[in-house]
Amino acid sequence: MASKRLRPGRTLAGLGAVVAILFGLVALGGEWSPRLGLDLQGGTRIILQASSEGGDPTDEQLTQARDIIGQRVNGTGVSAPEVSTRGDRQILVEIPGDERSDIVEEVGRTAQLRFRLVWGQGDGTASPPAPPGGDGPGGPGGGGPGGGGQGGAGPDGGGQDGGGQGGAGQGGGGQAGAGPGGGGQGGAGPGGGGQGGSGGQSGGAGQDGGTANRVAAGWMLRSDQQDGGDQGGGDQPNNQPGDQPPDQPPDQPTEEPPTPPDVEQQALGDILLPDSIQTTLTGQPPPAYTQDFTRLASEFAKFTCPDDPDAAALVDDEPGEPLITCDDEGIKYLLSPAVIEGTSLTDASAQIPPQSAQWVVNLELDGAGTDVFSDVTQALAGAPNALFAIVLDGQVLSAPTVNDPITNGQAQISGNFTQESANELANSLRYGALPLSFSVDSVVLAGPTLAGSSLAAGILAGIIGLALVVVYCILYYRALGLVVVTSLALAGLMTYELVILLGTSVGFTLTLPGIAGLIVGIGVTADSFIIYFERIRDEVRDGRSLRLATESGWLRARATILAADAVQFLAAVVLYTFAIDEVRGFAFGLLMSTIVDIIVVFLFSKPLISYLIRTRFFGQGHRLSGLDTRHLGITGRAVTQVARTPTRAAGRATR
């Protein structure tokens, strides 16, 4: 019997140790307040929907996209963003704090990175095709996309003591003649070429004469093992395809060669890499693609870039098709089908190399990307007009020239970078290689004021609910109602500690629906106590003593309490499994409160009642204890005079 008398105290002491351990873990975590969801502290919630083209995305693709989007959001300087997958095609981005509508565009971009060859370029205005033979796209004496007419003829490629006059064309000037005595004058046109060279040398790049010259003399690809290199403005031998001003392709024939009748015409989307490289170097595709290239050149001439430099061109960026698009400075490009996908880019970073004062962007490719990159750079190396474009979401990020072959998959983009522009390009490259296309499904912006009102309303609702339960229990159960109050206080303390621990360990955030689920737990704990106390009353009415009624009533009430909690537990699990995130918060709060209720009722409420029954105030049925004859439902006898069992009471009466 002595051991039984010690059981309530031991159980209560054990529970106290558990609470102390939880308190210690919270102290070790260093956080004394729970992590609040966006609806309670304010912030931005963005739901991205994966494109349904090509079937459902795989789990691997969705996970990769989630990681990349998370890196991109972190790259903006946001603290503690939450990026997770939802369902089989959605990604949820939650950014706590102030409203960040500026990040919606950054996160919502499809962010598909591709490398393409530049077949032509020009300024961003439309230029209608000229009549055949005139100065128009592809005509003799005119420039195709990005090119101008030919220079005069003479020894060494130019007229004696002078070069021929170049024709006009969209986006480029004439080819400067070269010969003894001087080079010819570059032709006129948007972005025309500069002054030619002299003394039998080729015309070279000359002075800055137009839009393309900006690119050729600006960004440049080279091996990251070199500290510097030619910026693309020097002289080239006459047999190099780069002897043109940078704003036009190399020499074009005076008249378009006829397509052989036995050559079957093909679409440029089927062009092979060597043929695509040839088109970049010569300005003309192989005969099999002439018809489609003529159509594409006409579309390029009519294409107009947006007036707003911050607005992206509305283009359909299909990897297997040529692309006409713009960069952020209004220069339009005619690009080849993608030769390298952005998923082959493994890293990009901005730095200042040793023995240099200029910022550069380093690139690193995987094995497959390295092989293609090696083939392309070996073919384009040294040609100042042969550009290799890096395209993000259909917009040209950069179009550098190739300084030397890059065979190890590690390249460097150099140019007039500032720290900000270098980091911006590196971030776009590093975080832009998404394997899927996404659209913004919904955006929710919650300001701190509204969130604070929601939190205050949730706390007020909890206080009101708790106060009503406490008042009812005190009025109905008198001093015994204090067991309910202390049980609720302990349940609240344990729940608070668990919410903090889950927040620091697994990132759990408390939302408004979660608070609602926890408030429901108030009623759960109160119900468990009411079930137990009513079973005690039933046992006393059957003739058992108060002490025995406390134990036998617990055995019967325990099954009912467990059954009710089991139903509630299953309901919470089902809600959490199949509901959307907002309802999941409620389900998780309900699940947590149910588990805490079982712990509190078994390890606190029942042992505490067993302990109180042994005191004089409760054991002898004081009228304020809640265990007096009136509340127990017996009349005419004191609580201590009730027989232990109905059978024994009847036996003593007959004797």
Position with higher pLDDT, 642 vs 412: 412
* Residue 653, pLDDT above cutoff 70: no
* Candidate from 30-39, 157-166, 219-228 with smallest mean pLDDT: 157-166
Structure tokens at 1: 């019997």
Cross-strand pairs, 413 = 221, 361
The chain-wide mean pLDDT, for the chain, equals 73
Count, residues in the chain: 655
Of the candidate ranges 50-54, 368-372, 393-397, 454-458, the one whose mean pLDDT is the lowest: 50-54
Cα distance between residue 352 and residue 368, in whole Å: 28
Average pLDDT over residues 130-135: 33
124: confidence class by pLDDT, cuts 50, 70, 90? low
Return the pLDDT at 557.
92
- Exposure on the CB side of residue 59, measured as CA atoms within 13 A: 0
Q: Give the whole-angstrom CA distance, residue 232 versus residue 360.
A: 16
Could you give the C-alpha distances from 584 to 298, 516, 588, in angstroms and in order?
Answer: 56, 11, 6
Task: Kindly report which listed range (306-315, 601-610, 622-631) carries the lowest average pLDDT score.
Answer: 306-315
Alpha carbon distance 570, 422 (integer Å) = 54
**Contact between residue 184 and residue 176 where contact means Cβ atoms under 8 Å apart:** yes
CB 323 within 8 A of CB 296: no
What DSSP string runs through 484-511? HHHHHHHHHHHHHHHHHHHHHHH---B-
Ordered strands of the 82-86 beta sheet: 82-86, 90-96, 43-50, 438-446
Residue 630 scores a pLDDT above 60: yes
- Geometric angle at alpha carbon 162, from 169 and 284, rounded to 5°: 35
Report the distance separating Cα 110 and Cα 439, nearest Å: 7
Residue 107 corresponds to which tokens in the numbers above?
A: 């996160």
For residues 219 and 415, the answer to whether their CB atoms sit within 8 Å is yes
Query: At 446, is the secondary structure helix, strand, or coil?
Result: strand
How much is the average pLDDT of 30-57? 77
Mean pLDDT in residue range 541-560: 86
Quote the pLDDT of residue 574: 92
pLDDT at residue number 56 = 75
Domain 43-109+438-446 of CATH type 3.30.70.3400: yes
Which pLDDT value is given to residue 618?
84
Better-predicted residue by pLDDT, 258 or 311? 311
**Helix or strand holding residue 534 (H, E):** helix 512-541
pLDDT above 70: residue 481: yes
Q: Which residues, including other chains, have CB under 8 Å from residue 19's CB and lie 6 or more apart?
A: 490, 493, 494, 497
Report d(CA 271, CA 288) in Å as an integer.
9
CATH placement of domain 8-35+448-631: 1.20.1640.10
pLDDT for 105 equals 67
Write out the two tokens for 593: 């409160």
Q: Please, are residues 232 and 384 in contact by the beta-carbon 8 Å criterion? A: yes
Q: How many CA atoms lie within 13 A of 446 on its CB side?
A: 24
Q: What is the DSSP string of 414-432?
A: EEEE-HHHHHHHHHHHHT-
Domain ranges of the chain: 8-35+448-631, 43-109+438-446, 274-431
Does 206 score more than 50 pLDDT?
A: no
pLDDT at 527 over 90: no
Tens-place pLDDT, residues 268-303:
888 999 999 988 888 888 999 999 999 999 999 999
- For 406, other C-beta atoms within 10 Å of its C-beta total 25
**Closest C-alpha among 86, 150, 95, 4 to residue 607:** 4
Contact 481, 72 (CB under 8 A): no
| Burial track 331-361 (b if 16+ CB lie within 10 A, e otherwise) | bbbbbbbbbbbbbbbeebebbebeeeeebbb
| Architecture of the structural domain at 274-431 | 2-Layer Sandwich (3.30)
3-class SS string, 471-485: HHHHHHHHHHHHHHH
pTM: predicted TM-score of the whole model, two decimal places: 0.50
Contact in structure between 569 and 588 (CB atoms under 8 Å) = no
% of the chain residues with pLDDT over 90 = 12
pLDDT (mean) for 19-34: 87
Residue 295, pLDDT score: 92
Residue 435 amino acid letter: P
- Return the minimum-mean-pLDDT range out of 54-63, 146-155, 570-579, 616-625: 146-155
User: Rounded to 5 degrees, what are φ and ψ at 125?
Assistant: -95, 160
Q: Would you place residue 644 in the very low, low, confident or very high pLDDT band (cuts 50, 70, 90)?
A: very low
CB 379 within 8 A of CB 372: no
The whole-angstrom separation of Cα 449 and Cα 463 is 21
Q: How many CB atoms lie within 10 A of CB 239?
A: 8
Q: pLDDT-based confidence at 374, cuts 50/70/90? A: very high
pLDDT-based confidence at 104, cuts 50/70/90? confident
Q: In the prediction, which pLDDT does 77 show?
A: 67
Bridge partners, residue 348, by sequence:
363
